[in-house]
Amino acid sequence: MTRGKIAGEYSQNWNIVYAKPGLGHLMQHLMAQMLFDPDQKVADLLEEYYSLFYGAGREPM
């Protein structure tokens, strides 16, 4: 278990926000989830994100 090992986090994502705006929300979501529980699997987080964010349109995404 690795909970409670981080004192803080700073993220500067200008490149993602302006050069790749479609990734900004996804990257912030993944960062928050991994900070909450670093033992999670990224594949599981992506499946959850696609289902919640895109709903019925998740398959094409």
> For residue range 12-21, what is the model confidence (pLDDT) as tens digits?
766 666 777 7
> Which pTM value belongs to this model?
0.68
- 25 HSE (CA, 13 A, CB side): 6
Residue 61 CA to residue 47 CA, distance in Å, equals: 11
Cα angle vertex 37, ends 16, 6, to 5°?
Answer: 80
**Domain segments of the chain: what residues?**
23-57
Q: How far apart are CA 36 and CA 42, in angstroms?
A: 13
Mean pLDDT for 20-25 is 78
